[in-house]
């Protein structure tokens, strides 16, 4: 017993316990992440071999210039191995890919591929390595979501970039967080799971699928409400409101002064 007590008081005992704690914590996190990725990864059986083959042909003809002939990446574009079908469905489905020009981030534009071609491209990229899958319909049903809880989650995780009214906002070096109004439910969900552009990845360990559905439900509920208070002024809050009041107030004062001086003369 005395020997054990002396070992506990060894000067390196605290360091050893700290390292042991870090190893256990890291191991548990790695296991949870692996399980989560396995649950979210694409199942090769979800796509036919014909879809994969056609997707490969479309990829070679339209994407290989930047991403490499085997999607291994080049100086002009990142590797797509392991990004998953959800990333392709988001980027191609919103028209961000193929990019129109190089810049701080890909711009949304009319999509270049139809839904079937987008699915085939996603099938090919999914065959290269496990990654986030296109969300199931049950997680896109906003009627099943809780918009009140979704609003809380949105304000905690998203509002600092996308604005509390989801109207978007400026970031650094010419980058920006886009408006979320009018965005398809599937693309909102996929953006959370894949982290496009400057957005962080919110995997199922960070925000479970049900919570993602609540966020989508909140955004669609907020969008349907419109602007009941009148002119939204860009939904930028006190900045645009203060500017409007200041500008309007100055105009009223100048107008009043002009009117009074004209009356006196």
User: Does residue 203 have a cis peptide bond before it, meaning omega lies within 30 degrees of 0?
Assistant: no
3-state secondary structure of 191: helix
The tally of domains found in the chain comes to: 2
Say what the pLDDT of residue 143 is: 93
Say what the pLDDT of residue 38 is: 45
End-of-domain residue from the set 227, 242, 258 = 227
**Whether residues 54 and 117 fall in one domain:** yes
CB 211 within 8 A of CB 153: yes
Determine, yes or no, domain membership for 5. Answer: no
**Whether residues 123 and 178 fall in one domain:** no
**Whether residues 96 and 157 fall in one domain:** no
Q: From first to last of its 265 residues, what are the pLDDT tens digits of the chain?
A: 455 455 555 565 666 667 777 778 777 666 555 544 444 444 455 789 999 999 999 999 999 999 999 999 999 899 999 999 999 999 999 999 998 888 888 889 999 999 999 999 999 999 999 899 999 999 999 999 999 999 999 999 999 999 888 988 888 888 999 999 999 999 999 999 999 988 999 999 999 999 999 999 999 999 888 766 666 666 666 666 777 778 888 888 888 888 888 876 5
Determine, yes or no, domain membership for 167. Answer: yes
Q: List the beta strands (DSSP E) in 143-197.
A: 169-170, 176-177
Per the DSSP assignment, residues forming a β-bridge with 41 are 132
Give the list of residues 6+ apart from residue 41 with CB closer than 8 angstroms, or none: 84, 130, 131, 132, 133
Determine, yes or no, domain membership for 59. Answer: yes
Q: What gap in Å lies between CA 20 and CA 26, rounded to an integer? A: 10
Determine, yes or no, domain membership for 240. Answer: no
Say what the pLDDT of residue 122 is: 96
Handedness of CA 246, 248, 252, 258 (dihedral sign): positive
Per the DSSP assignment, residues forming a β-bridge with 74 are 77
Q: What gap in Å lies between CA 122 and CA 139, rounded to an integer? A: 19
Say what the pLDDT of residue 239 is: 67
CB 52 within 8 A of CB 127: yes
Say what the pLDDT of residue 230 is: 60
CB-based burial, 26-40: b 16+ in 10 Å, e otherwise: eeeeeeeeeeebeeb
3-state secondary structure of 74: strand
Say what the pLDDT of residue 2 is: 52
Phi, psi of 41 (to 5 degrees): -75, 160
The residue segments making up the domain with residue 62 are 46-128
CATH number for the domain spanning 219: value is 1.10.760.10
Per the DSSP assignment, residues forming a β-bridge with 132 are 41
User: Does residue 122 have a cis peptide bond before it, meaning omega lies within 30 degrees of 0?
Assistant: no
Say what the pLDDT of residue 249 is: 85
């Amino acid at each position: 017993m005395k020997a054990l007590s002396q070992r506990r008081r060894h000067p390196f005992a605290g360091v050893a316990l700290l390292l042991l704690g870090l190893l256990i914590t890291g191991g548990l996190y790695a296991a949870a992440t692996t399980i989560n990725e396995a649950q979210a990864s694409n199942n090769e059986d979800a796509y036919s071999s014909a879809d994969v083959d056609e997707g490969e042909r479309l990829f070679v003809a339209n994407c290989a210039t930047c991403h490499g002939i085997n999607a291994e990446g080049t100086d002009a574009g990142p590797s797509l191995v392991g990004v998953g079908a959800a990333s392709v469905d988001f980027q191609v489905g919103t028209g961000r890919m193929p990019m129109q020009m190089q810049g701080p981030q890909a711009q949304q534009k009319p999509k270049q591929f139809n839904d079937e071609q987008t699915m085939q491209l996603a099938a090919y990229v999914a065959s290269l390595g496990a990654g986030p899958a296109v969300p199931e319909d049950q997680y896109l049903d906003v009627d099943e979501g809780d918009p009140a809880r979704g609003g809380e989650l949105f304000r905690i995780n998203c509002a600092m970039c996308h604005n509390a009214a989801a109207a978007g906002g400026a970031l650094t070096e010419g980058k920006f967080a886009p408006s979320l109004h009018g965005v398809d439910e599937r693309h909102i969900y996929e953006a959370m799971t894949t982290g496009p552009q400057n957005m962080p990845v919110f995997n199922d360990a960070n925000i479970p699928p049900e919570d993602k559905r609540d966020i989508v439900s909140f955004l669609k509920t907020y969008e349907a409400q419109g602007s009941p208070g009148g002119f939204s002024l860009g939904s930028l809050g006190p900045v645009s409101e203060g500017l409007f009041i200041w500008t309007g107030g100055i105009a009223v004062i100048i107008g009043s002064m002009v009117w009074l001086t004209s009356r006196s003369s």
